[in-house]
Amino acid sequence: MITLKEALTLASDDIKKLRDDLTSKIKQNNIGAYVEQLTSTDISQSGMGIPIAIKDNINVKNWEITCSSNILKGYISPYNATVINNLEKAGLCAFGRTNMDEFAMGSSTESSCYGKTLNPIDNEKVPGGSSGGSAAAVAAGIAIAALGTDTGGSIRQPAAYCGVVGMKPTYGRVSRYGITAYSSSLDQCGPITQNVEDAAILYDIISGYDPMDSTSANVEYEAVTPKLNANKKLTIAVIDNFVSQASPAIQKGFEKAVIALEKAGHKIIHKNMLDTDKIVSTYYIVATAEASANLARFDGVRFGNRKGDAGLKDMYVQTKSQGFGEEVQKRIMLGSFVLSSGYYDAYYIKAQKVRHLIKDEYSAIFAEADLILSPVAPTTAPKFGSFKTSLEMYLSDIYTISINLAGLPAISLPVDKDEDGMPVGLQFIAKAYDEQTLFDGALSLEKAINYNK
């Protein structure tokens, strides 16, 4: 597949041919990366620019946008999300709805109402989630690049499982206007691409202040792509207690990356952080609390599916019972519980205090380091059905969720393969609004490792 950097040099006739070729490839492919593949419908298109795959929770005008949930089937978006407008200004356009975990709640793209997406490297294994469709499309060569959303690792984890690059910007750096909210203080939209430079290009295109988004950061912004520098020497911190909990394959890939970074002239220092159990607990209290509030609007009154004909209460009960999947219902119930009278102080307030501790720990590390290197997930992509309980699925995000709680930028890239040939992904984490250093470090590691797909 042509890279995004190469596609940006194409003439209009060549872009049209690229779109036609891509449409043909998507029809021939059967991994279910796109909703259109799972529903046997024509690929959704908006405009005639360079095609970028779009996660099914990002509004595109006149597209059916469902967040892969039965409750939103039939909803046609009346407007574009800001990120879509930004794509169009740069000569890119939305092309295809990528499959996802329902309302972005999951780590395997199995909870989609349309069916599961397969990992293109091994179809018996999950592509990760919740942006599994976006990562699988790029990895399978049926998307030049894609947009995903990251609430607790939902860009970086599927990128790691599929062997592509996934980047989560600083909270507030990319507008959330027009993106269906899961957890408002954690969500960020970001790029999934074939390489680090493409990720920087797409990040530059979608980022910037947006007055339509109250959480958008009104800070000075400079494009990172023109100043990319893989030769900048950095101090990189390694979180030892994170690495010790990972599988042997992840530890082997991590050691390989550290050696490559040292050979490239970077300085490695060793640190520890808060126990991951406390991080997981904090994340799922905060995220589910915010989700229970955000998903209250899906009641059958204004948009999407409506069920029940025995009065208002029956409509609410039937619409939500039949519209929301099991995992979404579980998280709404958990969020309602931690916000309820008598439990609010014991759970939600305590979680917010621990969230502050997590931010303080990152700040202390960044007083000595430019970047942090960490695993993305404890293992490589597991087989479908491996998660016997929700808790097992939640634990697959132990290395990614603290970054969202702290609002920091991070990027995942492949560095090695396990004994089954599955990708091993690692992530760099940077200070808030320091995406330049983040991309510089990632580009340096990418060149040092020279990962072979």
Instruction: Cite the active site residues.
Output: 55, 130, 154
How many CB atoms are closer than 10 A to CB 343? 13
Side-chain half-sphere CA neighbours of 195 within 13 A: 19
Give the residues across from 64 on adjacent strands. Answer: 76
- Helix then strand then coil, % of the chain, to nearest 5: 40, 15, 45
Tokens of 334: 């958990």
For 192-211, the DSSP string reads: EESSHHHHHHHHHHHBS--T
Q: What residues have CB less than 8 Å from 386, skipping those under 6 apart? A: 126, 392
Give the residues across from 428 on adjacent strands. Answer: 373, 411
* CA dihedral (158, 18, 223, 442) positive or negative: positive
**In this structure, are residues 72 and 147 in contact, taking their beta carbons and an 8 Å threshold?**
no
Tokens of 172: 């507030």
Pick from 204, 266, 269: nearest CA to 444: 266
Where do the DSSP E strands lie in 245-319?
Answer: 267-271
Question: What's the rounded Cα separation, in Å, for the pair 431 and 189?
Answer: 18
